[in-house]
């Protein structure tokens, strides 16, 4: 029953955001844009997005302490992206944590999960930096600017917290011990073991090498995302390669990344299109051209994630149902297994 409620809510949210993006649309103009498209540039854009996935896999391996083979990390990352684009509630992130533990890497699933949280915060920081760079060139409403600055503050605070936890893990451990002293019934959940494993996932941020590696590959990944959006614009001859146009395309990357925060929707259908169309129109792009671009962009990225995710499942010898069930059953360490798990490193 809960699953059906989530699906219905996701459908309603998608329908609402699609209505925002598509209302009062001149569909013949959209069709004309698609007819005039130069599809060879879409192939180049997909290649750039694929390189972006590779850069993200390298960054994740850095955060994991260079553990495991890069090809395995790449497969797991792509499977996570595939699930996030086919199932609601970001279950792909849990799948990544589950698969790290399943593949026999020395990092546990919960350690991997903390690196994924670190990824999200670092990405948010990168997105806000992009936003700051493009806002002066575009006519953006004050409310949107305020929202972006708020997210920037959240990202900075989150990153600062990551660094504090990485360099002073004893502070988190002392806080947990105090909580357990006040609420002893919580000891049954093996929270100390869980906290230690989560803190292990921040170990890469303790060193300058880890920080520099994470920053470098984050910059490369987001740079490729921006270049991919610029390349996709070449599909549509009506989109002129001007500085304002490139700023609007960059803002669309920012807006689309925020759109995935809307829960329950499948593949962010609706929020993605509405966010992209809003961003593109700040650069003076007609709504019809913006819609054509957003639809092709979303379809192209979903195709990219689906292709690499399917290849990842083949590479790891797993089925979609196995991964989905494993992610859905991903649980913290139980008291009965905490000791043996610490010894085995699973």
User: What are the pLDDT digits (tens) for 3-47?
Assistant: 677 778 888 888 999 999 898 899 999 999 999 999 999 999 999
Tell me: the pLDDT tens digits for 187-219? 888 888 888 888 888 889 989 999 999 999 999
The sign one gets for the Cα dihedral 237, 239, 241, 246 is: negative
Residue carrying the six token digits 């391996």: 61
CA 86, 47, 93, 311 torsion: positive or negative? positive
The Cα–Cα gap between 240 and 28 comes to 21
**Distance from C-alpha of 262 to C-alpha of 94, rounded to nearest angstrom:** 17
> Is the model more confident about 27 or about 266?
27
Per DSSP, the three-state class of 283 is coil
To the nearest whole number, what is the mean pLDDT of the chain?
Answer: 86
The contacts found for 213-216 with CB under 8 angstroms, 24 or more apart, are 213/59, 213/62, 214/59, 214/62, 214/63, 214/118, 214/122
181 or 325: which leads in pLDDT? 181
Q: What is the pLDDT of residues 60-119, one digit of tens each?
A: 999 998 888 899 999 999 999 998 887 777 788 889 988 987 775 567 788 888 999 999
Q: What is the pLDDT of residue 345?
A: 35
246 pLDDT band (50/70/90 cuts)? very high
Instruction: Record the pTM.
Output: 0.87
């Amino acid at each position: 029953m809960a699953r059906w409620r989530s699906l219905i809510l996701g459908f309603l949210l998608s329908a609402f955001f699609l209505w925002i993006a598509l209302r009062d649309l001149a569909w013949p103009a959209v069709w004309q844009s698609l007819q005039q498209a130069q599809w060879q540039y879409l192939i180049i854009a997909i290649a750039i997005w694929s390189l972006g996935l590779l850069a993200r896999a390298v960054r994740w391996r850095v955060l994991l302490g260079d553990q495991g083979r890069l090809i395995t990390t790449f497969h797991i990352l792509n499977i996570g992206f595939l699930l996030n684009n086919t199932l609601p509630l970001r279950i792909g992130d849990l799948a990544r944590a589950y698969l790290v533990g399943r593949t026999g890497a020395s990092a546990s699933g919960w350690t991997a999960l903390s690196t994924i949280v670190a990824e999200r915060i670092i990405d948010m920081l990168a997105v806000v930096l992009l936003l700051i760079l493009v806002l002066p060139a575009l006519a953006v409403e004050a409310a949107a600017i305020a929202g972006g600055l708020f997210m920037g503050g959240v990202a900075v605070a989150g990153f600062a917290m990551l660094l504090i936890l990485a360099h002073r893990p004893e502070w988190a451990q002392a806080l947990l011990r105090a909580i357990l002293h006040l609420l002893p019934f919580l000891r049954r959940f093996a929270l100390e073991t869980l906290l230690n494993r989560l803190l292990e996932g921040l170990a890469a941020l303790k060193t300058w090498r880890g920080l520099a590696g994470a920053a470098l590959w984050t910059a490369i990944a987001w740079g490729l995302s921006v270049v991919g959006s610029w390349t996709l614009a070449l599909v549509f001859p009506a989109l002129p390669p001007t500085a304002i146009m490139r700023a609007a395309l960059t803002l669309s990357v920012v807006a689309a990344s925020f759109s995935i925060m809307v829960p329950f929707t499948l593949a962010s259908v609706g929020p993605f299109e509405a966010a992209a169309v809003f961003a593109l129109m700040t650069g003076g792009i007609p709504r019809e051209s913006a819609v054509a671009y957003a639809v092709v962009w979303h379809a192209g990225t979903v195709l990219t994630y689906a292709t690499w995710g399917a290849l990842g499942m083949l590479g790891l010898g797993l089925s979609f149902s196995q991964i989905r069930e494993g992610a859905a059953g991903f649980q913290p360490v139980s008291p009965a297994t905490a000791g043996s798990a610490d010894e085995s490193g699973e």
